Structure 1
Amino acid sequence: MAAQSNAATAGTATVQGLLSELAALEDPQVRAVNERHGDDHGVNLGQLRAIAKRVKPQPALARELWATGDTAARLLSVLISRPKAFTAGELDAMVRQGPVPKVNDWLVNYVVKKSPHAQVLRPAWLADPDPVVAASGWALTSERVVKSPDGLDVDHLLAEIAEHMATAPQRLQWAMNHCLAQIGIELPEHRAQALDIGARLGVLKDHPTPPNCTSPYAPLWIKEILRRREAG
């Protein structure tokens, strides 16, 4: 109850109060599951979202939570951020400071993609030697393929995927593979090339896929989404 009262409302929330509340929610079993995926925290994400809903967006508080370096605090920071409140430089620094998979995923999807700086950062990140930063660039590129592909050099993107995806570190490989699939799904003029690259590389071809889930293997992924669209 003490932790709850320390951060009871949006108006009274403090970094220390929220850190205490997060610490009280720490669950060893949740941590054990998360650590298998590279995420070093033990807070149930539903509970984390409930805190964020109560606290509401607060950019200054979000920055303070991020600065703690604590993974659960950074996840909460992302949820109470306002994407337009960050400069391109801040977002670049945050992506480089947040290599934990869930933190990076939420930061890119909930903040960077909604930022006016996303398309400024995207090409620089694509070329970055840090695989986490490069993966973030590919995530932004996948978004661009779906929403506004005009102006993209798709032939160059496919050439980069063909040359580097098979040997890329796992997180970067997944991001490149996602982009390959989106190109095949959304851009009919490049579909045959995307299918050919996916088949030749065979990336994630043998990845275990639960029943009723779509395989991450790009050729199957592309064909399944198109089948569903045709079926209405």
Structure 2
Amino acid sequence: MAELTELADPKTREVNEKHGDDHGVRLGSLRALAKRLKTQQELARHLWATDDTTAKLLATLVCRPKAFGRDELDAMLRAARTPKVHDWLVNYVVKKSPHAEELRVAWCADPDPVVASAGWALTAERVAKKPGGLDLAGLLDVIEAEMKDAPDRLQWEMNHCLARIGIEHAEYRARAMDIGERLGVLRDYPTSPGCTSPFAPVWISEMVRRQDDKTVD
């Protein structure tokens, strides 16, 4: 914790606070520290228990994802209230857990939109990598009915899932594009030069184009 305090930079914290985070350590420095520490499950648990954002981020980098129980991960997710901690916990820990599918189903149905967003993030992962058994048409029905008015973080993940369905599954591409166009979610999202817009029709079209280019090569 003393080392994390030394690594903190007020300017970094100021930038992060604009995005809803409250840590002041550069992520590159945090990754370098994690590389030096290597995997230490008990240390990860102690870091998480501090309830310090930077410590929680480090915990996701040095933990052993498969060592956490289902209820433990559920409690951790509900305690991960800053965007970066939430994102790293889902992507670096939960996705590698044997409990990921059970948690995906439970979280998607949770009334807390922040928790539900984690379920949709896991669903987007399944759409892309393990779609067997998923009701893709049913997912599109839910997205069409609920995404427009969903809170920001939940809306973002539902939109991610919509784009993934359109990118990975040609038979649903036209419908995914149509839903994205009609709802207009993230249509005007500011996008840096050289980056792809998260607006689903643009995102889908660009990723499919890249896939087609690779096929031709």
Please classify the TM superposition score into its range, dividing by the shorter chain length: over 0.9
- Shifted more, 47-56 versus 66-75: the winner is 47-56
In structure 1, what is the equivalent of residue 144 of structure 2? 162
Report which of the two structures shows the higher radius of gyration computed on alpha carbons: 1
How far apart in 2 are the matches of 1:220 and 1:58?
42
The amino acid across from 1:154 in the alignment is L
Q: 1:86 aligns with which of 50, 59, 68?
A: 68
Deviation at 1:151, TM superposition (A): 0.3
Does structure 1 residue 218 correspond to structure 2 residue 203? no
In structure 2, what is the equivalent of residue 229 of structure 1? 211
How far apart in 2 are the matches of 1:72 and 1:208?
27
In structure 1, what is the equivalent of residue 158 of structure 2? 176
Q: Tell me, what secondary structure is at the counterpart of 1:92?
A: helix
In structure 1, what is the equivalent of residue 190 of structure 2? 208
How far apart in 1 are the matches of 2:205 and 2:3?
46
How far apart in 2 are the matches of 1:189 and 1:118?
27
How far apart in 1 are the matches of 2:139 and 2:209?
25
How far apart in 2 are the matches of 1:147 and 1:26?
37
How far apart in 2 are the matches of 1:61 and 1:26?
20
Q: 1:150 aligns with which of 132, 143, 163?
A: 132
Trace 1:8-27 onto structure 2 (pairs within 5 A).
Answer: 19-27=1-9
Trace 1:177-192 onto structure 2 (pairs within 5 A).
Answer: 177-192=159-174
The amino acid across from 2:198 in the alignment is P
Deviations along 1:88-112, one digit per CA (max 9) or x if unpaired, are 1111000000011000000000000
How far apart in 1 are the matches of 2:192 and 2:148?
23
- Shifted more, 142-151 versus 206-215: the winner is 206-215
Deviations along 1:159-206, one digit per CA (max 9) or x if unpaired, are 111111111111111100000000000011111111111011000111
Deviations along 1:102-157, one digit per CA (max 9) or x if unpaired, are 00000000000011110011011001011111010001001100111010011221
Aligned residues: 214
Trace 1:22-171 onto structure 2 (pairs within 5 A).
Answer: 22-171=4-153
Q: CA RMSD in A?
A: 0.7
In structure 2, what is the equivalent of residue 12 of structure 1? none
The amino acid across from 2:134 in the alignment is L
Deviation at 1:230, TM superposition (A): 0.9
Identity %: 65
Extract structure 1 runs of 4+ deviating beyond 4 A. none
Q: TM-score, normalised by structure 1?
A: 0.91
Deviation at 1:208, TM superposition (A): 1.4
* Structure 2 residue ranges without an equivalent (≥5): none
